[in-house]
Amino acid sequence: MAVLSTPAVVRIAWAVDPVGFVSKQLGASPWSKQIEIIEAIRDHSRVAVRSCNGSGKTYIAAYVVLWWLMCHTDAVVITTAPTAHQVKDVLWREIRRAYNENQFLIGGNLLRTSLDMGAKHFALGLSTDTPERFQGFHEGHILFVVDEASGVREGIFEAIEGSLTSADAKVLLLGNPTSLRGTFYEAFHRRRGLWKTIHISAFDTPNLQQDNVGIPSLVTPKWVADAEKNWGTESYLYQVRVLGDFPTESEDTLIPLKLIEQAVGVSHRACEAHLPDDWREQSDDMKLRGARQGEGGSAVASSANYEVGVDVARFGSDKTAICVRRGDQVISLETFSRQDTMNTAGQVVRVSRKYSPGAIRIDEIGIGAGVIDRLRELKVPHVEGVNVARRAGNPEHFSNLRAELFDGLRERFQDRRMSIPGDPELISQLASIRYSFTSSGQMRIEDKDDLRARGERSPDLADALMLAFAKRPERGYRLWAGS
C-alpha cells in the first residue's frame, strides 16, 4: 500500500503543503477558492463552505479526502450527504475518478463508497438517517466531510460532534446555503467563531472572472445571465444558486426552499409506496414521460390514478399551466402563453386523451369558467371547477379555500410526500408564496395582485400543482392525502 511505503519525511511534506500535493502528485489544477478550501482544512479543525452552483467544491473535496489519507498511516475519512444518490454518485464519483488517475501512487482497495488502505486507514461514504452509524470513530487522524450540508439531519451533526475529541479531528461542511436553520446555517452566523468559513459566489469563479468558459465544468457566464433573466436578482434561487448566499426568507414564507428542493427528483420508489401494483410494473419510460413540456401520445393505463390541475391565464404576461400527477409524483408540467379559451380547452382535451385522468380540476375564477363550459360542451369527463376564493372546508383556520389547499400542499412537502421536476420556475413560485393571519386567526395566502406588487410573477405553475393535489370531500375541497 503506497502510503505505508512512503517515507515519513515525505508524508510530513505532503501534510504541510496540500496544494502542492494535489497539484504535483495527483495532477489537479485547483483555482483560488479551491486552494483556500484545501489550506483551510490544513489549518483549521472546522471548515464550512457555502457555494453557488458549479463552483467545483465537490471536485476539490475529493482531493481533500485523498490528501488526508496519504498524509497519515492511521487516517480515517467519513463522508456523508442527505441521500444515497449524493453519496454514491456525486462526491464518491469524484473520489473514484481522482483515485483511478492515481491508483499506483495511492494503492489500497477502492469500492463504490469505500477506500481501504489498511487497519484504521480508510475512507467510507455513509448515507443513513441513523446517527449511531457515525459514532465510535475516534482515530488519531479523522476527517468528516459533509456534502450538501444544508440537507443533512441534525442528529448526524450531533453524532459527528461526539467524534471530534481526537487530537487531529477535523470536519468539512460544503453545500448550497438553502436552509435558514441548522448546523450549516449556524456555522456562518451564531457559531461563526468556531468555524473557518468560506463563501463562493459565481462571480468568484474563473469563468466569470475572465468572462469566458476556460473551465467547462464550472459555472458559465451564460448560465448566470440566464439565471438573472429567469429568476431575477432578488429571487431565492438567484441568491442561493448564483450568489451562494442564504436566502432572505422571512418567517412568513409558506414552504421553505429546503423542503421544495428535497422534493426535486425524489426516487420513484419513494413515490411508489403510495401507488397500486400495476403502476410499479410499468416501464421507467412511461413513468417519466412528459415531465415539463409533455410529449404527445395516446392515453396510458390505469387512468384513474392520474389527476390534472389547470390554472388558466387571466392576463397577457401570465401563462396557462397544466400539471399532471400520479400518486405523489408530478409527471408532466406544461405552460402556454397568449392563448384564447378555445386553444386552452384544446390543450386540456389533448391531456385528457393522453392520460384519461380521474379528475381535471380547473380554476373557474375569471376566464377559467369559459374553458370549463367548453370542455363540458365537448363532454370531456371528470372536469371539476374549483373556486379557490370560496369558503374553506375548515373556515375556523383558513380564510378561504386557496389558503386551505396551499397549507395542505405545505404539509405534503414537509412530510416528504412529493416528487416534482427540477423546474426553476416552479421552484421559484413555490418558494415565493407567503402567508399571514387575519384578525380572527385564519390563515390567508398572499393573492396574485400582492405578488405582482412586490415584483413576483403570477404563481401559475404553483397553482396548477395545488389543483392537481386537491380532491373533493363531502363538502368543498381538501388536499389529496394519498392513494
Residue 167 backbone dihedrals phi, psi, to 5 degrees: -65, -35
Res 266: pLDDT = 73
* 482 pLDDT above the threshold of 90: no
| Selected residue with higher pLDDT from 320 and 314 | 320
Are residues 61 and 159 located together in one domain of the fold?
Answer: yes
DSSP bridge pairs for 386: 363
Domain-located, residue 249: no
Distance CA 214, CA 137 (A): 41
| Helix (H) or strand (E) run with residue 160 in it | helix 154-161
- What Cα–Cα distance (Å) separates residue 402 from each residue in 353, 388, 417, 473, 477? 28, 5, 20, 15, 10
| Selected residue with higher pLDDT from 276 and 247 | 247
Give the domain extent around 166: 2-200
Helix, strand, coil in percent for the chain, rounding step 5: 40, 20, 40
- Report the pLDDT averaged over residues 90-105: 95
* Residue 186 in grid coordinates: 449556524
Which residues of 374-483 form beta strands (DSSP E)? Answer: 383-386, 435-437, 443-445, 470-471, 478-479
Q: What predicted TM-score, i.e. pTM, was given to this entire model?
A: 0.66
CATH of the domain at 83: 3.40.50.300
Are residues 191 and 330 located together in one domain of the fold?
Answer: no
* Residue 91 in grid coordinates: 462526491
* Residue 74 in grid coordinates: 492511521
Distance CA 72, CA 75 (A): 5
Are residues 168 and 271 located together in one domain of the fold?
Answer: no
pLDDT tens column, 210-223: 988 889 999 999 99
Are residues 297 and 161 located together in one domain of the fold?
Answer: no
Most confident of the following: 119-123, 200-204, 225-229: 200-204
Least confident stretch, 124-133, 294-303, 344-353? 294-303
Res 481: pLDDT = 38
Distance CA 165, CA 30 (A): 31
pLDDT tens column, 13-41: 899 999 999 999 999 999 999 999 999 99
Are residues 285 and 422 located together in one domain of the fold?
Answer: yes
pLDDT tens column, 342-397: 999 999 999 999 999 999 999 998 889 999 999 999 999 999 999 999 999 999 88
Domain-located, residue 462: yes
Which residues of 224-348 form beta strands (DSSP E)? Answer: 306-311, 319-326, 329-337
Confidence of residue 295 (pLDDT cuts 50, 70, 90): very low
Domain boundary among 174, 200, 226: 200
Are residues 279 and 376 located together in one domain of the fold?
Answer: yes
* 233 pLDDT above the threshold of 90: no
Burial class (CB in 10 A: 0-12, 13-18, 19+), 278: exposed
Say if residues 163 and 227 touch (Cβ distance below 8 Å): no
Domain boundary among 180, 200, 220: 200
| Selected residue with higher pLDDT from 147 and 179 | 147
The count of structural domains within the chain is 2
Tell me the Ramachandran region of residue 212: left when phi exceeds 0, alpha when psi lies from -120 to 50, beta otherwise.
beta
Res 29: pLDDT = 94
CATH of the domain at 331: 3.30.420.240
Are residues 352 and 466 located together in one domain of the fold?
Answer: yes
Distance CA 159, CA 146 (A): 13
Are residues 186 and 273 located together in one domain of the fold?
Answer: no
Confidence of residue 313 (pLDDT cuts 50, 70, 90): confident
Domain-located, residue 216: no
Are residues 158 and 277 located together in one domain of the fold?
Answer: no
Confidence of residue 441 (pLDDT cuts 50, 70, 90): confident
Percent with pLDDT over 90 in the chain: 55
Domain-located, residue 206: no
Confidence of residue 471 (pLDDT cuts 50, 70, 90): low
Comparing C-alpha atoms, which of 463, 468, 169 is closest to residue 320? 463
Domain-located, residue 403: yes
Are residues 370 and 440 located together in one domain of the fold?
Answer: yes
Res 116: pLDDT = 94
Res 401: pLDDT = 94
Are residues 189 and 124 located together in one domain of the fold?
Answer: yes
pLDDT tens column, 195-207: 999 999 999 999 9
Average pLDDT, the chain: 84
Q: How far does the chain reach from its first CA to its final CA, in angstroms?
A: 54
Domain-located, residue 205: no
- Report the pLDDT averaged over residues 320-332: 95
Comparing C-alpha atoms, which of 221, 211, 204, 92 is closest to residue 145? 92
Are residues 28 and 176 located together in one domain of the fold?
Answer: yes
* 59 pLDDT above the threshold of 80: yes
Domain-located, residue 142: yes
Res 45: pLDDT = 95
Res 144: pLDDT = 95
Domain-located, residue 420: yes
